[in-house]
Structure 1
Amino acid sequence: MPGLPGDSAVPRWWEQLGLPGLIDIHTHFLPDRMMKRVWAHFDEVGPLIGRPWPITYRWDHDRRLAHLRQLGIRRFTALTYAHRPGMAADLTDFALDLADREADCVPSATFFPEDGVLDHVRSALQRGARVFKIHAQVGGFDLREPVLDPVWGLLAEAGVPVVVHVGSGPVPRQGFTGPDKLEGVMRRHPGLTAVVAHLGAPEYSEFLALAEAYPRLHLDTTMVFTDFFESAAPFPPELLPRLADLADRIVLGSDFPNIPYTYAHQLEALERLRDREPRLDDEWLRAVCWHNGERLIGA
């Protein structure tokens, strides 16, 4: 298949794979004021990481929804994440309300290590939440905090996936990021359906090892293999066979709209992996871009 020159080519790309569209487990929708603050944060991140991080899709809410549908994203998430106490309830309300209005948006929720977190997560599940997101790096907390232990148990029992940003990229936070934090949770709750954001960048090998040890642990492709990530945290070529071995637990993620390139480039980056590892072929792409996401969050 030819590379993707731009977003207009995306529908043709998944059609050639024989798919009915794409399922993206890692997209963001936030209240407008918060989304603008997030974009301002990315404007400031550039100097921290030594290069700009322009937001390609700095559009209004309705235009972003329309664009995902034009691309053929059949199911997407409204991942929110609290960075301090007292935020999670409102963010969960926003995400669940959006899913009530938009049938292709997966009911999404978040939580934070604070008093009442177990009741909050239980309520979100009762309201239909089918995916959660937490961001240990931004939130500045350890996944192993005691107040979260019953939450992990509840989510493991419910079988609802949790997208977890606990890798140290793009800027590590000492004491809060790294594979040991998630390993501590998985050791106590091996049935937890966790999805490691960004394939755990830059600790790729360590998070792959966790996925190999825990059969309910998944990894998403968000931003990995793109030119933007490869220039700063390249994926080691010797790990590609292990990525092929985990074909049933790698799932498409994009970070839309907060990406400094087109959506098509993420797909192009995945497609060109076959040049480095033949087993990352069309069958692998079909699993990553549809079947694995369908199993986790529905179609």
Structure 2
Amino acid sequence: MGIEQDSAIPAWWQALGLPGIIDLHVHFLPERMERRVWHHFDHGGPLMGDGWQIRYRQPVEERVALLTSMGVRAFPALAYAHRPGMAADLNAWTLDFARKVPECLPSATFFPEPGVLDYVRQALDDGVKIFKIHLQVGAFDPRLPELDPVWGLLADAGVPVVVHASSVPVPGGCVGVEPVAEVMRGHPRLRMVIAHLGMPEYEDFFALAERHERVALDTTMAFTDFAARLMPFPAALRPRLRELGLAGKVLLGSDFPTIPYAYAHQLDGLDRLDMGDDWLRAVCWENAVRMI
């Protein structure tokens, strides 16, 4: 059945026989950083024209309550650094947020800078379950030598890293499949989650997930009207999408709260794919349980 309103979400996952859903691409940020991010989306940029109306601008407590009321049983507060000197403080903030919000998975970020291995190791010691980096916003190359021991540490720990590696919204030398493919060649046991299914380079990132046992993709903004208008999913990849989902390699992501449509629209987009209930159960719950 389709889902038009957020209030209909619990009935949807209950009909699938699930205890809820897990969303591995959610953002909660320090207030000053959040204001800057929202300002960017409000005023547009590449692919955004005049910007978009962020749907969920409620105070933090109300946003958490909304997620839990919809049945989102676990979610991270993904923050990411865009310059040196930010990551350790962001990690302290996201860890504190997770301590206060039982449903929030402890998350962290990193940046190529002196001391990066030390604070990533500390984050793992503090119980971090998932990391996030954004290669376009951070404008750094994941193949930098100072990051090699970090990738090795995370591969050994088995902790996933959500990586925005595709060329949206701004193409650049650090994005696209080749930089992260080289990282995976050096660290084949790394758990890497490619954000947004790698849109618009869907096929390249699907091939990466098919080559590497621990590479997965999240669904963030894929199959929504927004993505279909600007970066449509190739119909030829539908069989591979189904196979990857059933193999544990596709996970629910949303980009909540910085989205211009109802949260339900992301789930409705997945539902409308008509991949079957087993696929939906895997993508919205089972794959994330196994990964985390």
Q: Could you state the TM-score of these two structures normalised by the residue count of structure 1?
A: 0.95
**Residue in structure 1 matching 2:188, options 180, 183, 190:** 190
Asked whether the 8 Å contact 1:49–1:171 carries over to 2, the reply is no
Q: Is the partner of 2:204 in helix, strand or coil?
A: helix
Structure 1 residues 132-177: Cα deviation after superposition (integer angstroms, max 9, x where no partner) = 00000100011111110000000000000000001111222x2111
Alignment-derived partner of residue 224 in structure 1: 222
Within the alignment, does 1:256 sit opposite 2:256 as a pair?
yes
**Residue in structure 2 matching 1:291, options 281, 286, 291:** 286
**Distance in 2 between residues matched to 1:220 and 1:138, nearest whole Å:** 18
**Distance in 1 between residues matched to 2:205 and 2:64, nearest whole Å:** 32
CA-CA distance at 1:51 after TM superposition: 5.2
**Distance in 1 between residues matched to 2:136 and 2:125, nearest whole Å:** 28
Q: Is the partner of 1:114 in helix, strand or coil?
A: coil
Asked whether the 8 Å contact 2:47–2:169 carries over to 1, the reply is no
Equivalent residue runs for 1:204-223 within 5 Å: 204-223=202-221
**Distance in 2 between residues matched to 1:294 and 1:32, nearest whole Å:** 30
**Which residue identity does 2:206 align to in structure 1?**
L
**Distance in 1 between residues matched to 2:226 and 2:101, nearest whole Å:** 31
Within the alignment, does 1:97 sit opposite 2:96 as a pair?
yes
**Which residue identity does 2:258 align to in structure 1?**
N
CA RMSD of aligned residues (A): 1.0
Alignment-derived partner of residue 152 in structure 1: 151
**Residue in structure 2 matching 1:238, options 233, 236, 239:** 236
Structure 1 residues 228-275: Cα deviation after superposition (integer angstroms, max 9, x where no partner) = 11100000000010111112110000000010100000000000011x
Q: Could you state the TM-score of these two structures normalised by the residue count of structure 2?
A: 0.97
Aligned residues: 290
Alignment-derived partner of residue 178 in structure 1: 176
CA-CA distance at 1:41 after TM superposition: 1.0
- Structure 2, unpaired ranges of 5+: none
**Distance in 1 between residues matched to 2:45 and 2:262, nearest whole Å:** 18
**Distance in 2 between residues matched to 1:51 and 1:34, nearest whole Å:** 21
CA-CA distance at 1:46 after TM superposition: 4.6
Q: Is the partner of 1:13 in helix, strand or coil?
A: helix
**Distance in 2 between residues matched to 1:214 and 1:260, nearest whole Å:** 33
Alignment-derived partner of residue 21 in structure 1: 20
CA-CA distance at 1:32 after TM superposition: 1.1
Alignment-derived partner of residue 143 in structure 1: 142
**Cα–Cα, structure 1 residues 268 and 184, in superposed 2: closer, same or farther, change >3 Å?**
same
- Structure 1, unpaired ranges of 5+: 275-279
**Distance in 1 between residues matched to 2:122 and 2:48, nearest whole Å:** 38
**Distance in 2 between residues matched to 1:233 and 1:51, nearest whole Å:** 18
Q: Is the partner of 1:183 in helix, strand or coil?
A: helix
**Distance in 1 between residues matched to 2:44 and 2:119, nearest whole Å:** 31
Asked whether the 8 Å contact 1:46–1:53 carries over to 2, the reply is no
Q: Is the partner of 1:273 in helix, strand or coil?
A: coil
Asked whether the 8 Å contact 2:43–2:50 carries over to 1, the reply is no
Alignment-derived partner of residue 70 in structure 1: 69
Alignment-derived partner of residue 11 in structure 1: 10
CA-CA distance at 1:34 after TM superposition: 1.0
Alignment-derived partner of residue 59 in structure 2: 60
CA-CA distance at 1:40 after TM superposition: 0.4
Q: Is the partner of 1:255 in helix, strand or coil?
A: coil
Asked whether the 8 Å contact 1:226–1:269 carries over to 2, the reply is yes
Alignment-derived partner of residue 38 in structure 2: 39
| Percent of matched pairs sharing the same residue | 60
CA-CA distance at 1:78 after TM superposition: 0.5
Q: Is the partner of 2:255 in helix, strand or coil?
A: coil
**Which residue identity does 1:65 align to in structure 2?**
V
